[in-house]
């Protein structure tokens, strides 16, 4: 009943929405085709540019519309922005007024904006510079920008645009024409689009690098040291979740973790997921340690000893021992499987070195994505660094929590396909919080189509890279028939596939989780997040869906 109600509300909304216009831009130079197509696929070409002659000059109004689409994507509010106050005598365009109110553009000073006037290159520099600054780009305040004196016509740049021109040259958005900036020449549509894509790509990478650096600063403030770049995000998340035990306070993360330290982490995490602290009933299970965490982990069936009463609390934990402990932990907190037929260790160069007793757990770690590595070696007898243990522990924890949320009453009687989709969705949700980077294919960052492709490839399914082509690769399904695991598609223009309009209108894709929720690599400021299909923007911009895993 709930699904039908949601479906009815969505259908009412999309019937009322406007039908998107098929992108039919023309006269694109060979050098600009890739950039124009990329901006169209990203949903950053406003309707006024989606049918434009790309060799013609872009107008000031069109530039505003494009800048607002990119700005709002960074700010986590897709679209062209809300209706705004009329700020100019010669235009009511909400995008222009919104861009003015956000400090992205200015007018001529006499109440006019000149929405249909052609855009000069120096005005392009200034608008792009303003857009990046309002989207949190503060690099010009901390980094020396290159001079523009090497350009023969640098003296022609108006004073208001000098700082912007220097910034655009420094970051490679503007590369000049020979040795000329041509600041007062007009900007063609394809030139503006190509340069703006460079700005978007640069700002995306810069913003993520800044976020990662902030995480590094915060986690180092906690007293930890020597954390590899790849591990910063997961160490910080574990620390915020309170799942790094006190025995690891102020530790060197590059050092091997001991068996006792691993027990402390497991017991701490068990308390988080169960909501209660587990206290060992006895501290006499081993002859070489009375550590309460070791004994608690033993009673919970997370760890075992060497036999003869020996545990070896200070011994270094090998990776295959660690894999076995993690498989035990996942089972204790609710994940039902302890092996999988979907993984063959012979695919790894050193897979044959995995001991028989550790092989099922190792396969499970690979299957759930907890162990990623370089795809070639598992290093089963190698020492487990603390940062490795922390990161893999978090992945196992998030995977299991996601699986349990979908199966609160335990594992139902699932056929093989349903079980696969259940694991696929748990895997996808383990990436919640990861950053968005245009062109990102994983495993550390993604864009929207790269994310869904990465998730499916992990389980042996492969299809096209772009969102528009992905829609063509699957079996089309109606909203009423959506199932978990389906791909859901959106358009930036508003409206839907009500009239079977071109798939070229698709600008975004996510992975449907069920009950109206989907997970997607949203934008540079939000990263991988879970949203609802009936939330304002996604409800009115839903376009269609397809199924990859068919009966």
Residues 166 and 284: their CA atoms lie apart, in Å, by 70
Spatial neighbors of 308 by CB under 8 A, at least 6 apart, are none
Residue 74, pLDDT score: 85
DSSP state of 213: H
Q: Is the pLDDT of residue 78 over 80?
A: no
Q: Which residues touch 189 (CB under 8 Å, ≥6 apart)?
A: 25, 49, 52, 53, 54, 55, 56, 57, 58, 62
Q: Which residues are marked as active site?
A: 448, 508, 520
What's this model's pTM, rounded to 2 decimal places?
Answer: 0.83
Beta-carbon-side half-sphere exposure of residue 93 (alpha carbons within 13 Å): 23
CA distance 50 to 321: 57
Give every CB contact of residue 149 below 8 A, 6+ residues apart in sequence: none
CATH top class, domain 425-547 = alpha beta
Spell out the domain ranges in the chain: 41-209, 223-412, 425-547
Percent of the chain with pLDDT over 90: 67
Q: In which element (H, E) is residue 416 found?
A: helix 416-429
pLDDT category at 3 given cuts 50, 70, 90 is: very low
Q: Is the pLDDT of residue 2 over 50?
A: no
Helix ranges (H only) for 430-466 are 448-458
For 55-74, what is each residue's pLDDT tens digit?
A: 999 999 999 999 999 998 88
Residue 5 has pLDDT above 60, yes or no: no
Residue 379: pLDDT over 50? yes
Closest CA to 491 of 448, 551, 441: 448
What gap in Å lies between CA 111 and CA 92, rounded to an integer? 12
pLDDT at 165: 95
Tokens for 132, please give them: 């990046």
String of DSSP letters for 40-73: HHHT-S-HHHHT-BTTSBPBHHHHHHHHHHHHHH
Tokens at 334, concatenated: 């609710």
pLDDT at 375: 72
pLDDT tens-digit readout, 490-539: 887 655 444 445 666 788 999 999 999 999 999 888 899 999 998 777 88
Across 11-25, 63-77, 115-129, 138-152, least confident range = 11-25
């Amino acid at each position: 009943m709930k699904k039908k109600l949601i479906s009815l509300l969505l259908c009412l909304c999309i019937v009322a929405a406007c039908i998107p216009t098929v992108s039919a831009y023309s006269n694109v130079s060979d050098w600009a085709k890739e950039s124009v197509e990329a901006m169209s696929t990203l949903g950053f070409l406003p309707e006024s540019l989606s049918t434009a002659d790309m060799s013609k000059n872009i107008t000031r109004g069109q530039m505003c519309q494009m800048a607002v689409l990119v700005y709002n994507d960074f700010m986590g509010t897709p679209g062209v922005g809300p209706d705004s106050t009329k700020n100019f005598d010669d235009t009511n365009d909400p995008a222009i007024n919104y861009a003015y109110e956000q400090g992205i553009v200015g007018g001529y000073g006499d109440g006019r904006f000149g929405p249909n006037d052609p855009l000069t290159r120096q005005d392009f520099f200034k608008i792009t510079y303003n857009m990046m600054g309002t989207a949190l780009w503060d690099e010009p305040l901390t980094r020396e920008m290159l001079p523009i004196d090497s350009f023969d016509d640098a003296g022609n740049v108006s004073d208001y645009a000098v700082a912007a021109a220097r910034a655009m040259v420094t970051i490679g958005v503007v590369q000049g024409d020979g040795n000329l900036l041509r600041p007062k020449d007009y900007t063609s549509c394809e030139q503006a689009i190509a340069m703006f894509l460079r700005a978007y790509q640069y700002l995306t990478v810069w913003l993520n690098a800044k976020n990662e650096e902030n995480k590094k600063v915060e986690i180092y403030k906690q007293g930890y040291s020597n954390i590899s770049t790849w591990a910063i995000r997961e160490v910080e998340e574990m620390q915020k979740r309170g799942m790094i035990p006190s025995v690891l306070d102020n530790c060197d993360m590059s050092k091997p973790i001991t068996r006792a330290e691993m027990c402390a982490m497991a017991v701490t995490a068990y308390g988080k997921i169960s909501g209660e602290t587990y206290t060992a009933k006895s501290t006499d299970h081993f002859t070489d340690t009375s550590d309460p965490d070791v004994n608690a982990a033993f009673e919970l069936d997370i760890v075992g000893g060497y036999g003869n009463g020996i545990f070896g609390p200070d011994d270094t934990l090998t990776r295959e021992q660690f894999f076995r402990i993690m498989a035990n932990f996942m089972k204790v907190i609710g994940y039902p499987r302890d092996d999988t037929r979907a993984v063959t260790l012979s695919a790894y160069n050193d897979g044959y070195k995995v001991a028989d007793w550790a092989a099922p757990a190792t396969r499970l770690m690979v299957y759930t994505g907890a162990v990623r590595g370089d795809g070639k070696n598992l290093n089963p007898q190698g020492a487990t660094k603390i940062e490795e243990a922390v990161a893999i522990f978090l992945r196992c924890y998030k995977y299991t929590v996601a699986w349990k949320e979908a199966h609160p009453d335990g594992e139902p009687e699932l056929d093989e396909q349903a079980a696969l989709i259940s694991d696929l969705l748990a895997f996808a949700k383990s990436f919640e919080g990861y950053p968005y980077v245009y062109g990102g294919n994983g495993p550390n960052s993604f864009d929207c189509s790269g994310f869904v492709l990465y998730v499916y490839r992990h389980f042996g399914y492969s299809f096209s890279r772009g969102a528009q082509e992905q829609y063509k690769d699957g079996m089309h399904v109606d909203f009423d028939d959506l199932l978990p695991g389906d791909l859901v598609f959106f358009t930036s223009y508003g409206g839907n596939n009500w009239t079977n309009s071109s798939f070229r209108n698709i600008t975004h894709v996510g992975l449907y989780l069920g009950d109206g929720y989907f997970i997607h690599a949203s934008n540079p400021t939000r990263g991988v997040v879970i949203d609802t299909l009936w939330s304002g923007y996604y409800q009115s911009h839903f376009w269609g869906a397809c199924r990859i895993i068919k009966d």
